[in-house]
Amino acid sequence: MGKNSAQYNFHKNCRNLIMHIKCLISVVMLTLLAGCGVSATYQTKGSYSGETQKQYTYALLSPLSHPLSKQEMQGFLLEKGYTVIPDKLYKIILENFIIQDALVFQCNAAGTAERAVIGISQKVSCSAVDYISGKRIYNGFGEHMGDFEEDDFIGATAAALNNISYTGESGHILSLQELATSFAARENSPPDHEEDNKSEASFGTGFFINNKGFIATNHHVIDECKSISVETNIGNIASAEIVTYSEDNDLAVIKTSINSKKYASISAPPLQGEYVATYGFPLIGLLSDDGIYTDGRINALKGFGGDKNYLQVSLPVQSGNSGGALVNKYGQLVGIIASKLNAIKVADMTGEIPQNVNFAVKESRLTRLLDRVNILYSSNHSGKKAYLPEDLNKEIKSYTVLISCQY
């Protein structure tokens, strides 16, 4: 028994030693691998659609890209010879300029994969669409593993963009001077339709001012329309007719057969620094079709060039917000969203791009227009009760309409 016990202990100790050696080897291998900076690309795919032979010069980076991919996207595309437009200029470019030879690039995470004992690799999917047509031109996929998460994204993004063609130019980042002078400005006025018979539409925002079907909006929203229709927040659709307007104040009143129980109430004069909000339909078809709520402050009680008919506000305004109700925290109307500062002209004059410099027509200009044609409206200057933003959103939405203009 003593001999057998000694043999058993010997074999047991050997097994334990072997296990310890294996563990030690694994630790050493992992340490060495980590210390040496393990980096491997497992997949790199990318192809262009067969529909285009167009040569592209500009690369517009989408702000919807994954944050860890953005830096690599910019650097990689610069190496490929593109003139890169950073994502911070995305909205300004989209709203104000026409670029015939630009691709919009977007890269996002596409999952992960375990890679033996080494670690986990990151997958990234990238696409590029034509700025004008919106058609997908390039589609790529990459998978990479590095020492850190940032390395994973950088390597996978480079792999997904690997098959992007060289432009043959020297890559650089778009300057403000190029922004203001190189591209054609988008026309916000209705196009000339004498050249064709195709029906085109534009969209704006309006709001009920009483329960008799009267709706206030901007004059430029309904100007030159062959037909006008409105859609309420609950989906009721009806045609509308112009009742009165003021080109000088960019205001108009239209009437529809829909009688809304909810409508805006006019407030006392607005205050500088006052909290304000609006609900409207900016960039419809690109952003949410359900309407968007935004808020900010009244920055000044005069508009561009000291115009006393306007307010300057900080809340974000895009094409399609025009004609929306600007209300204070009590839900009272203080203005009508009208316009934004022309980013093209300001960049050309000052070398700087303005951010959130927008304007609204004062509520007093609307009441003057309504009084002139004896249209009733509600004035509520007392019994103030502040709304929470989420409740204020519901209140404005209840009497806001989408206006469609057919040319």
* Measured distance CA(387)–CA(280) in Å, rounded: 19
Residue 344 pLDDT grade (very low, low, confident, very high; cuts 50, 70, 90): very low
Which tokens is 222 given? Answer: 């309904």
b/e per residue 303-315 (b: at least 16 CB within 10 A): beeeeebbbbbbb
What is the chain's Cα-based Rg?
A: 30
- Amino acid 17: pLDDT: 58
Name the residue with tokens 């294996």.
22
Tell me where in the chain the CATH 2.40.10.120 domain(s) lie: 201-406
* Measured distance CA(28)–CA(35) in Å, rounded: 10
Which residues, in sequence order, are CB contacts of 81 under 8 Å at separation 6+? 166, 167, 168, 169, 170, 171
Which tokens is 228 given? Answer: 């006008």
* H, E, C per residue of the chain: CHHHHHHHHHHHHHHHHHHHHHHHHHHHHHHHHHHCCCCEEEEEEEEECCCCCCCCCEEEECCCCCHHHHHHHHHHHHHCCCEEECHHHHHHHHHHEECCCEEEEEEEEEEEEEECCCEEEEEEEEEEEECCCCCEEEEEEEEEECCCHHHHHHHHHHHHCCCCCCCCCCCEECCHHHHHHCCEECCCCCCCCCCCCCCCEEEEEEEECCCCCEEEECHHHHCCCCEEEEECCCCCEEEEEEEEEECCCCEEEEEECCCCCCCCEECCCCCCCCEEEEEECCCECCECCCCEEEEEEEEECCCHHHCCCEEEECCCCCCCCCCCEEEECCCEEEEEEEEECCHHHHHHHHCCCCCCCEEEEEHHHHHHHHHHCCCCCEECCCCCCCCCHHHHHHHHHHHEEEEEEEC
Closest CA to 406 of 232, 197, 244, 216: 197
Asked if 251 and 336 touch (Cβ cutoff 8 Å), the reply is yes
- Amino acid 281: pLDDT: 85
Residues 15-34, mean pLDDT to the nearest whole number: 54
Closest CA to 128 of 153, 157, 154, 152: 157
* H, E, C per residue of 204-215: EEEEECCCCCEE
- Amino acid 155: pLDDT: 93
What's the half-sphere exposure (Cβ side, CA atoms, 13 Å) at 135? 9
Question: CATH for 201-406, among 3.40.50.2020, 3.40.50.920, 1.10.10.10, 2.40.10.120?
Answer: 2.40.10.120
Closest CA to 339 of 323, 363, 352: 323
More confident residue, 261 or 15: 261
Instruction: Give, to the nearest 10 degrees, the angle between helix 67-79 and helix 149-160.
Output: 40
Which residues, in sequence order, are CB contacts of 303 under 8 Å at separation 6+? 309, 310, 311, 312, 359
pLDDT at 298 over 60: yes
- Amino acid 315: pLDDT: 84
pLDDT at 201 over 90: no
pLDDT tens digits, residue range 162-189? Answer: 999 898 888 999 876 677 667 766 544 4
Tell me where in the chain the CATH 3.30.160 domain(s) lie: 40-185
pLDDT tens digits, residue range 114-172? Answer: 886 668 899 999 999 888 888 888 999 999 998 888 889 999 999 999 999 898 888 99
pLDDT at 257 over 90: yes
The SS3 assignment for 160 reads helix
* Measured distance CA(322)–CA(358) in Å, rounded: 11
* Measured distance CA(393)–CA(380) in Å, rounded: 19
Integer distance in angstroms from the first to the last C-alpha of the chain? 105
More confident residue, 312 or 357: 312
Question: CATH for 40-185, among 2.40.128, 3.30.1890, 3.40.50, 3.30.160?
Answer: 3.30.160
pLDDT at 5 over 80: no
